Every structure is written in structure tokens, then in C-alpha cells.
């Protein structure tokens, strides 16, 4: 494989292959930053991959009180799924179990889309007939009685069918410490890109996968081509000094958001250099046969 080099970091001449998804966003607010984050983190738990979790979700951005609908600290959370029905199911369950239950929380639409998904319009029934419908500022809200007062929630939020899931970067290094340093640098840079999230723990995944496997019923299994311990017994993509690989998976509100996030990640890792981070950057794809979005690394160089 041909490679370019930026600041001593090799860049594979390959591309990340991504897929169209459905997505929505909400704004969660609370009396302070701690509880806004807690509600958002709890809501986005167990949401790393649609393969096993039903959706992919994470905090997009933390919002100061000056930028939220009710003038309190908040978080914008994004949720991605493969279908509108699954997205509505995941949104309703996570909102009801993780945000409605969180002290002092309120919830607002975080996206204007081509269709609506239910927020308070679904959770209002928890009020058992005591919920109150309110309309002001051209928007519809529900006030649901709870034990610390009221849960204030916008009736609906928007749905976009233009979202993209599965953008990715692979950071290959001589040690696990260097691979992690590279991944952390990339995560920090990507967190500044609006409309893009990284659903895996801390934005990073160690268990990169390939489609299928030798055991019946496996949708995905270990990406053996990038597993250092299997070098020599499989067709490996790793050189003799490549001893650790970490991956970042990116979902975006738009294709441009994914491209911008990948570019930011590449820029951060190449700036770090091979002495402190990755010696090589690659990406995962399926030969271009499954996802219609292809992000060529050579087009995203800083």
C-alpha cells in the first residue's frame, strides 16, 4: 500500500467507509453542569454500536447557560439509529429512564429536521392525568409532575435522514501507551467539531471488528488484520514494529461533519508525531461495497 508522510507519521492511501443513518438531538438542562452532564452521560450509556446496543449516542457539546432555552447549564446529546422506529424507541426509553429520573432536569429539541420524534408527547403519560400542556413561543411543551417539582419537556424534536455513521480512523503505534496518546489527542480535537460524536468509551475502541466470523450467528468479530498478537498467523496489516492499534469511530449529523472530524483527528495525531504517538494512520472499509460514504485519508490531510 502506498503511503504519504506528515511530520513522520505515515498515512495509508485508503478510505473510511461509512453508512447513512437516522439521527436526532436533544438539549438536556439541569440546575448545574454536574447534573446536566450526569443525565446526558447516563442517557448515552450502552450506546456504542447499533450492532449490539440499538443506537449510537454521545454528548455533542456542553452548553453554557447563555446558550440553552431555559438559561441553565446543558448538554446537546445526539442519537443515531438505522431506522426511524428504532430511533424513536431508543429516544423514548432513554429519555424516560435516564433524563426524567435525573434531579432538576429539563429537555428541549436539539435538532430541526424533516420530521418529528416524540419527547414530552410520549413521556407525558407518566403524569397519570396531571400533566399540563403548554404552548408559547410557537413551541409545544409538557409539564409533568415529579417529586422535586416538574419535568419540563418539549413535545417533539427533529429527525434527520442525512446523518452518517461509521467514519473511522486507526492509529497504529509501537506501544499501547503511544497508541492511547494518539487516540486521546484525536478525541480532544474532534470534540471541537460540532455535529459529530464518538460513541465508544471516551471516544476510543480497542476491539475493532470485521464483518461476520467463523462462528454461526456472529455479525462481527475481531479485526484480526490489525491485531498485533495474530501477526504471523493471519494476513496482517501490521509491520514488525506495530504493537498496538486503537480506533476512533465517528457519527455525524452530516457527511461534512464526519469529514471535518476525521480531518481534525488526523491533524492532531500528525502534530503529535511518532515519538509521542502513532507512527501510522489508517482506516477501515469493506472494499467500498457496503457504505456509500467514502472518506479518503489523503483528502483530509492538514
Q: 249 pairs with which residues across the strands? A: 168
Q: 129 pairs with which residues across the strands? A: none
Domain check: are 206 and 281 in the same one? yes
- Copy the grid coordinates of residue 10: 505515515
Domain check: are 48 and 100 in the same one? yes
Domain check: are 37 and 72 in the same one? yes
Domain check: are 92 and 194 in the same one? no
**What is the rounded distance in angstroms from the CA atom of residue 191 to the CA atom of residue 211?**
28
Domain check: are 287 and 173 in the same one? yes
pTM for the whole thing? 0.95
% of the chain exceeding 70 in pLDDT: 99
- If you ran DSSP here, which 8-state letter would residue 205 be given? B
Burial class (CB in 10 A: 0-12, 13-18, 19+), 266: buried
Confidence check: pLDDT of 195 > 90? yes
Which domain range does residue 110 map to?
A: 21-160
Q: How far is CA 210 from the centre of its chain?
A: 19
- The answer to whether 170 touches 22, Cβ cutoff 8 Å, is no
| Per-residue exposure over 108-144, b if at least 16 CB sit within 10 Å of its own CB, e if not | bbbbebeebbebbbbbbebbeeebeeeeeeeebbbbb
- If you ran DSSP here, which 8-state letter would residue 72 be given? S
Domain check: are 230 and 147 in the same one? no
| HSE-up (13 A, CA, CB side) for residue 77 | 30
Mean per-residue pLDDT for 179-199?
98
Confidence check: pLDDT of 1 > 80? no
Tens digits of per-residue pLDDT, 212-223? Answer: 999 998 989 999
Domain check: are 127 and 214 in the same one? no
Domain check: are 12 and 25 in the same one? no
| The CA-based dihedral angle spanning residues 269, 271, 275, 278, taken in that order and rounded to the nearest 10 degrees | 10
CA distances from 288 to 7, 183, 253 (A): 29, 25, 21
Residue where one domain finishes, among candidates 137, 160, 183: 160
- For the domain that residue 194 is a member of, what is the CATH number? 3.30.70.520
Domain count, the chain: 2
Residue where one domain finishes, among candidates 160, 175, 198: 160
Reported as a pLDDT band with limits 50, 70 and 90, residue 290 is confident
Mean per-residue pLDDT for 30-58?
97
Tens digits of per-residue pLDDT, 67-111? Answer: 999 999 999 999 999 999 999 999 999 999 999 999 999 999 999
For the chain, the first-to-last Cα distance in angstroms comes to 21
Domain check: are 108 and 235 in the same one? no
The kind and range of the H/E element at 86 are: helix 84-94
Mean per-residue pLDDT for 183-209?
97
Residue where one domain finishes, among candidates 160, 193, 209: 160
- Helices of type H across 191-274: 255-272
pLDDT of residue 207: 95
Amino acid at each position: 500500500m502506498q503511503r504519504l508522510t506528515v511530520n513522520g507519521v505515515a498515512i495509508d492511501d485508503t478510505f473510511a467507509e461509512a453508512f447513512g443513518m437516522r439521527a436526532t438531538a436533544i438539549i438536556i438542562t439541569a440546575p448545574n453542569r454536574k447534573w446536566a452532564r450526569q443525565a446526558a452521560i447516563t442517557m448515552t450509556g450502552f450506546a456504542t454500536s447499533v450492532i449490539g446496543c440499538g443506537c449510537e449516542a454521545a454528548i455533542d457539546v456542553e452548553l453554557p447557560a447563555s446558550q440553552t432555552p431555559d438559561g441553565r447549564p446543558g448538554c446537546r446529546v445526539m442519537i443515531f439509529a438505522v431506522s426511524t422506529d428504532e430511533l424513536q424507541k431508543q429516544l423514548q426509553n432513554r429519555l424516560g429512564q435516564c433524563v426524567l429520573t435525573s434531579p432538576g432536569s429539563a429537555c428541549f429539541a436539539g435538532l430541526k429536521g424533516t420530521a418529528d420524534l416524540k419527547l414530552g408527547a410520549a413521556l407525558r403519560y407518566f403524569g397519570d392525568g396531571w400533566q399540563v400542556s403548554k404552548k408559547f413561543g410557537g413551541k409545544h411543551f409538557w409539564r409533568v409532575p415529579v417529586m422535586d417539582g416538574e419535568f419540563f419537556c418539549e413535545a417533539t424534536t427533529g429527525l434527520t435522514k442525512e446523518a452518517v455513521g461509521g467514519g473511522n480512523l486507526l492509529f497504529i503505534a509501537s506501544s499501547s501507551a503511544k497508541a492511547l496518546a494518539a487516540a486521546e489527542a484525536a478525541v480532544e480535537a474532534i470534540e471541537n467539531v460540532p455535529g459529530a460524536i464518538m460513541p465508544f468509551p471516551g471516544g476510543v475502541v480497542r476491539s475493532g471488528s470485521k464483518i461476520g466470523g467463523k462462528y454461526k450467528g456472529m455479525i462481527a468479530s475481531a479485526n484480526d488484520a490489525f491485531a498485533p498478537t495474530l501477526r504471523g498467523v493471519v494476513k496482517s496489516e501490521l509491520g514488525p514494529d506495530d504493537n498496538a492499534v486503537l480506533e476512533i469511530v465517528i457519527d455525524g449529523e452530516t457527511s461534512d461533519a464526519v469529514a471535518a472530524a476525521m480531518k481534525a483527528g488526523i491533524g492532531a495525531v500528525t502534530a503529535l508525531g511518532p515519538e509521542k504517538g502513532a507512527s501510522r494512520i489508517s482506516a477501515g472499509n469493506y472494499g467500498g461495497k457496503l457504505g456509500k460514504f467514502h472518506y479518503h485519508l489523503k483528502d483530509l490531510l492538514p
